[in-house]
Chains A and B, each alone.
Chain A
Amino acid sequence: MHHPPVADDVHTLVVYVLDRSAVLSPPAAWLSAFEQLGVSLGGDQAQVQRFINAWSRLYSATLLLDHLQDGDELGDPWLAAQSEPLQYHFAFSAYALANDELATLTSVLPPARSIRLQRLWSSTVLQLAAGQYRDLTLRASALNATGLEALDRYEELAAQKTGAAFALALGGCAETATDTTALVEAATNAGLIIGMLLQYYDDLLDQSSQEAQPETVTLARAWAASIGIDQAHRLTDIWSILYARYWNALDATLAPLPAPARLAISSLVQGMFGAAPKPITTTI
């Protein structure tokens, strides 16, 4: 006779599946940088790590959902062999785990800080949902008639979809650590910029996998719909100029943070995207 698994078994299974998929887990270097940020702002290491655990589960939940909706590889043969309803259920279960980690953390934080962290969480997760909605409903073929508005739409998608995730990551670590609003907002804003850069970077350098999804809105397609792309405007060149311009904005955003926190974030960015861009010294 078949018996459904008890709750603890489901919990263990979900953790096992998520943790062994390299595709669905955030890179360890990111998590290390997040921890450095939180601790450098005076946070208790165990509490900062608890927030990072919650964020990691959320990241896995949204990434699994995105992969299922796009038909991408899931990074784990066992998970890939399961029925589609069960695969979607793992995404929901991952979010349940994230919420449980968050609840455990907020039960020990000072009440006002706990409320602010929960507001940041719900606010950014709502944007993640809105960004995914936009990603599923915007069609690349519909961008061609919109001119420069195509880039506006793509920019907003990047802010909601990936920017919100990193705004929560950095802002949540800061919120766990301190009551100083200026520090939390600087970390949150920096996370938003980094997340947008990550969306651009993935879009520009992952062209081969996106060729199988011709209706997905990408930076290259939005750029082409707006001003066109010719051989002189290679995608790597577009990335270089975006990185340089965004780096300047990120540098200004980080100003309120203490030096160790700025170092943690700038090291994270350079680990993700390469060495800091050089300042523009040549004019046309």
Chain B
Amino acid sequence: MHMGPHDDAVMAKAPDSEQGHTALSPDDPWTRAHTRVSQTLPRLREIATQVALVGVLIIPATDAWRVRGC
């Protein structure tokens, strides 16, 4: 396949095969939503770490929360 003069630049911006990142401007609607939600949601790694450290899961029962795994 012919590689034109701009193809190097295109390849440099290609998404990483592991990450699937795309370059977006800060005022892109997705970027705004993703940034805002990332500030609001607890990270999965934080939740999992808490579970691993404490060694229990707090889960809802019918009328109250109960602790399992102690």
Contact = CB atoms under 8 A, between A and B. Distances in A.
A83 interface: no
Interface stretch (A89-97, A106-114, A119-127): A119-127
A116 B20 CA distance: 25
B43 A155 contact: yes
A155 B65 contact: no
Contact of B54 (A171, A188, A242, A284): A284
B65 A237 contact: no
Interface string B46-67: 0111011011111110001111
B48 A151 contact: yes
B60 to A, nearest CB: 5
A245 B15 contact: no
Interface string A19-54: 000000000000000000000000000000000000
Interface residues of A, number: 58
B33 A151 contact: no
B37 A127 contact: no
Interface majority SS (helix, strand, loop, mixed), chain A: helix
B33 to A, nearest CB: 5
A171 to B, nearest CB: 7
B26 interface: no
Contact of A185 (B24, B36, B52, B65): B36
Contacts of B36: 185, 189
B39 to A, nearest CB: 10
Which of A131, A138, A233, A281 has the most B CB atoms < 10 Å from its CB? Answer: A233
Contacts of A167: 30, 33
Contacts, number: 137
Given A137-B20, A245-B42, A240 B30 contact: no
Contacts of A241: 47, 51, 57-59
Contacts of A253: 37, 40
Contact of A240 (B43, B56, B60, B67): B60
Interface majority SS (helix, strand, loop, mixed), chain B: mixed
Contacts of A163: 37
A233 B69 contact: yes
A188 B34 CA distance: 10
A242 B60 contact: no
A280 B29 contact: no
Contact of B60 (A153, A193, A252, A277): A277
Interface of A: 116, 119-120, 123-124, 126-127, 130-131, 133-134, 137-138, 148, 151-157, 159-160, 163-164, 167, 171, 185, 188-189, 192-193, 196, 219, 222-223, 226-228, 232-233, 237-238, 240-242, 244-246, 249, 252-253, 277-278, 280-282, 284
Given A148-B49, A245-B42, 6 more contacts: A156-B19, A164-B30, A185-B36, A233-B57, A249-B42, A284-B58
